[in-house]
Structure 1
Amino acid sequence: MVTNGNSVNIWCQGAQSASEYQLYFEGSFFALERPKPSRSMNKVRFFISQMTSHTAGIYTCFYQSGELWSKSSNPLKLVVTGLYDTPNLWVYPQPEVTLGENVTFFCQLKTATSKFFLLKERGSNHIQNKYGNIQAEFPMGPVTRAHRGTYRCFGSYNDYAWSFPSEPVTLLITGGVENSSLAPTDPTSSLDYWEFDLSTNESGLQKDSAFWDHTTQNLIRIGLACIILITLVWLLTEDWLSKRKDHEEANRLTNWECRRRWRMQHYFEEEQRNAISMMELKATPGAL
């Protein structure tokens, strides 16, 4: 778990021959790092400067060796806390019970939520979760000495964005010799750290296209589509300009032809008038 606003280091470890590491978030490309020659070639750090609800979720990493990509690392689930109000946690019948007694934790958040989580500090197993609107119950069953410890609870609308932690409640177990048949029904754990490691399997190098950088492939497709679109626009523009030029040339030739014909007609008319005038002069004797 990481408090909202805190920074996080995620380490991805692969092979000495690795040339590139890629971090994926919720199945999509998130970041890329290349090993620095001055450092170990089989490990890189991905830095998240500020954890928010948008960066909380499941992370995996891959590395590239030559033309091959590794299999995915085991998933890392990052939870961000401090996003909602603070819930209340209490235990029934009381914080101090005898060995084998039934115990139930109650977590309540006045701001309506959909899921509650119960964690045991310095635990070693999974986190308990229950659905509820304002309150959830966590029955522990007959308690053993493994149940003793300090607990906190959280409220949430999803698995990776949690509320502030409740005040701690310490469960004390008293009584005689523990019955070996009494085992914890649902033990809890804590994930209170801010540096995480992801390891990939060197023997799992594959050439499967599913392991290539999907984001790069998408960018290549988008780039090709843009080039095709630009080419089409250019061709259409060239065609339009060519047609416009032909049209203007045709108009120019038409205008020139009209002017030429007008001049020729005007010339013939003028010649005809001159010829008529000459004929009239010849036909009139007194004019000589």
Structure 2
Amino acid sequence: MILELLSFICFGLCVGQGYRRRDGSLPKPSLSAWPSSVVPAKSNVMLRCRTPTKDVNFDLRKGGHIIESSQSPDSAEGLAEFHLTDLKISHAGEYTCEYYRRWRPYISSQPSDVLLLLVTGGLPKPSLQTHQRSNVTTGEKVTLQCRLPDIFQGSVKFALLKAGTSMPVQTRGPKWKETDFSLQNVTVNDTGNYSCVYYRTEDPFQASDPSDHLVIWVTDATSRDYTTGNLIRLGLGAIIMAIMGVFLVEAWYSQKESQSGSRPTAAQRNESLIELTVC
């Protein structure tokens, strides 16, 4: 009983200290953007800082400077939501978040991984094309090429976007005026509308308008094989049914001849066979 009580007290202290690691630090939080980290100007975005520790305070930083603080609600999980509205190019940049305990000792966590927020619309859009057909099967490789407009000059990076995802699928540096994005061993989950942007790698992180959308369809190769097999089986079944029909007609004529004692001519048999087939 005493050991159980001591274990319970120890667990409570560990939870109260925010799941401290052996070195005394708190685990770093995660930072995400909704609906996406690449958004158009004048839109809104929400940055979510999340940690398994409850009852903590959060700081949101941009470029290392605190721009907003928040207190997590009393819940089983620590969560702070920072709302950025009517976005401008000046909102683009590298964001991190961290949290710290509300009571002594005021231990602070390590910062989250950097989240790069891009606000599109400051540069002319690139073009996006694929080297293969747009309809592919699972397991294949798809290469998408994003190309700068001819009038643009400067050092940039490219980001491949997929509609419905909150983060870029891939980011790449340019090879002169274009870059290739490779989707390896695609699955049906890779089906979707893709676009790309390019952006400057230093503040103010200007980003282009997105390219026109390119639709990629990924078909399950296994299901297609099943469909082909089913069609073959249906075809064989139809042939077998036709052959059985011929045998049934022959048997019917044989029975009719034995009952009437007269054998119909070949033309009559063919005519009757046609009538039965039509019926």
TM-score scaled to structure 2, two decimals? 0.50
**Residue 149 (1) aligns with residue 207 (2):** no
Give the Cα separation in 1 of the matches to 2:94 and 2:66: 13
Q: Write the mapping of 1:185-196 to structure 2, written as runs, cut at 5 A.
A: none
**Residue 137 (1) aligns with residue 180 (2):** yes
Task: Indicate if the aligned counterparts of 2:135 and 2:218 stay in contact, CA closer than 8 A.
Answer: yes
Letter of the 2:45 partner, please give it. V
Cα distance change on mapping 1:83 and 1:61 into 2, 3 Å: farther
Cα distance change on mapping 1:65 and 1:136 into 2, 3 Å: same
Give the Cα separation in 2 of the matches to 1:163 and 1:28: 26
Q: Report the 3-state secondary structure (helix = DSSP H, G, I; strand = E; otherwise coil) of the residue aligned with 1:80.
A: strand
Q: Report the 3-state secondary structure (helix = DSSP H, G, I; strand = E; otherwise coil) of the residue aligned with 1:32.
A: strand
Please report how far the alpha carbon of residue 89 of structure 1 lies from its aligned counterpart in structure 2 after TM superposition: 1.0
Give the Cα separation in 1 of the matches to 2:220 and 2:171: 29
**Residue 28 (1) aligns with residue 73 (2):** no
Q: Write the mapping of 1:98-117 to structure 2, written as runs, cut at 5 A.
A: 98-110=137-149, 111-112=152-153, 113-117=155-159
**Residue 121 (1) aligns with residue 163 (2):** yes
Relative contact order higher in (CA < 8 Å, ≥ 6 apart):
1
Cα distance change on mapping 1:60 and 1:93 into 2, 3 Å: same
Give the Cα separation in 2 of the matches to 1:106 and 1:5: 28
Cα distance change on mapping 1:62 and 1:170 into 2, 3 Å: same
Unaligned stretches of 5+ residues in structure 1: 179-288
Task: Indicate if the aligned counterparts of 1:145 and 1:173 stay in contact, CA closer than 8 A.
Answer: yes
Please report how far the alpha carbon of residue 57 of structure 1 lies from its aligned counterpart in structure 2 after TM superposition: 1.5
Task: Indicate if the aligned counterparts of 1:81 and 1:163 stay in contact, CA closer than 8 A.
Answer: yes
1:177 corresponds to = 222
Please report how far the alpha carbon of residue 145 of structure 1 lies from its aligned counterpart in structure 2 after TM superposition: 3.4
Give the Cα separation in 2 of the matches to 1:45 and 1:23: 10
Task: Indicate if the aligned counterparts of 1:102 and 1:143 stay in contact, CA closer than 8 A.
Answer: yes
- 1:72 is aligned, of 110, 114, 138, to 110
Task: Indicate if the aligned counterparts of 2:98 and 2:108 stay in contact, CA closer than 8 A.
Answer: no
Please report how far the alpha carbon of residue 31 of structure 1 lies from its aligned counterpart in structure 2 after TM superposition: 2.4
Cα distance change on mapping 1:10 and 1:146 into 2, 3 Å: closer
Unaligned stretches of 5+ residues in structure 2: 1-36, 224-279
The structure having more radius of gyration, on CA atoms, is 1
Give the Cα separation in 2 of the matches to 1:12 and 1:124: 15
Aligned residues: 175
Give the Cα separation in 1 of the matches to 2:217 and 2:132: 12
Cα distance change on mapping 1:146 and 1:70 into 2, 3 Å: same
2:211 corresponds to = 166
Could you list the per-position Cα deviations for residues 23-62 of structure 1 after superposition, in whole angstroms to 9, with x for gaps in the alignment? 2222222223467xxx759655434344334332122132
Q: Report the 3-state secondary structure (helix = DSSP H, G, I; strand = E; otherwise coil) of the residue aligned with 2:110.
A: coil
Give the Cα separation in 2 of the matches to 1:83 and 1:70: 37
Letter of the 1:94 partner, please give it. R
1:208 corresponds to = none
Task: Indicate if the aligned counterparts of 1:52 and 1:80 stay in contact, CA closer than 8 A.
Answer: yes
Letter of the 1:127 partner, please give it. V
Please report how far the alpha carbon of residue 154 of structure 1 lies from its aligned counterpart in structure 2 after TM superposition: 1.0
Letter of the 1:155 partner, please give it. Y
Task: Indicate if the aligned counterparts of 2:187 and 2:220 stay in contact, CA closer than 8 A.
Answer: no
Percent identical: 22
Q: Report the 3-state secondary structure (helix = DSSP H, G, I; strand = E; otherwise coil) of the residue aligned with 1:79.
A: strand
Letter of the 2:82 partner, please give it. F
Letter of the 2:200 partner, please give it. Y
Task: Indicate if the aligned counterparts of 1:89 and 1:108 stay in contact, CA closer than 8 A.
Answer: yes
Task: Indicate if the aligned counterparts of 1:21 and 1:64 stay in contact, CA closer than 8 A.
Answer: no
1:85 corresponds to = 124
Please report how far the alpha carbon of residue 117 of structure 1 lies from its aligned counterpart in structure 2 after TM superposition: 1.3
